[in-house]
Structure 1
């Protein structure tokens, strides 16, 4: 072989080897990109699964809160109803007391005897007027633990 042929043959090997190295780098980059894409898809799926779990938990919590609100509302309706009955009873009893006081007043005037007729307290005539000032009730979110 001549030196020229050897150089050409060596040059060709160098070119082939550089193409092989280039192809190897390209192949490694493709594998790396595929692996990176796979990790990215897995991470996205994990994030989605977490969001779905959180949504489910929040829906369950919302259902419990709705049940609590329904229970409290039912209690409110019961108390409001009972309060109406009590107010009606107070009104009726106050009217009776006033009638009895009137009868006593007439009997006192007719008989000439003095009867001690107590005055009806304002708290009976106006039950919505509390004997003490209204104090704010402190409320916190911890009151409704479930």
Structure 2
């Protein structure tokens, strides 16, 4: 069995006594165990750090989702109000057409010149408003998340 020790090393262990070889082996095993323990601790800390990151990212994701939902709700409310205004504008345009028709009849019957305003066709040029452009003001918290 001593010859196997001589074959596995460069021959330096053959000259040492068996107790010294066992002591070196024991120290190496102890060093390996300590290294493995430190490695496990590093891995455990890394996993804990990653779990902390996951938690932070999930919280951030939840906040973003809440912001998106609030913004979507505001958008739906504004779109609904816009649809109401669009319908009212169309109704008022129809009334104005009717009133202009009455004015044309009055003008034709009375012979007096009546100033009849031109009504823009909303379908032909929807970006042109029939009234002067007024600035639209809003509060800063209207679009806050």
Range class of TM-score, shorter chain: 0.7 to 0.9
> If each structure's helix is expressed as a fraction of its own residues, which one has the higher value?
1
Partner of 1:81: 80
Deviations 1:15-38 (A, max 9, x none): 896101101100100100000010
Q: Secondary structure at the match of 2:86?
A: helix
Q: TM-score, normalised by structure 1?
A: 0.74
Q: Secondary structure at the match of 1:45?
A: helix
Instruction: Kindly report structure 1 stretches of 4+ aligned residues shifted beyond 3 Å.
Output: none
CA distance in 2 between counterparts of 1:76 and 1:50 reads: 39
Cα distance, 1:112 vs structure 2: 1.3
Partner of 1:23: 22
Q: TM-score, normalised by structure 2?
A: 0.74
Cα distance, 1:91 vs structure 2: 0.2
Alpha-carbon spacing, 1:24–1:130, altered in 2? closer, same or farther (3 Å): farther
Give unmatched runs, 5+ long, in structure 2.
Answer: 1-13, 130-143
Larger Rg computed on CA atoms: 1
Give unmatched runs, 5+ long, in structure 1.
Answer: 1-14, 132-144
CA distance in 1 between counterparts of 2:63 and 2:16 reads: 70
Partner of 2:69: 70
Partner of 2:35: 36
Q: Secondary structure at the match of 1:77?
A: helix
Partner of 1:118: 117
**Larger RCO, structure (CA 8 Å, separation 6 or more):** 2
Partner of 1:8: none
Deviations 1:63-94 (A, max 9, x none): 00010000000000000100000000100000
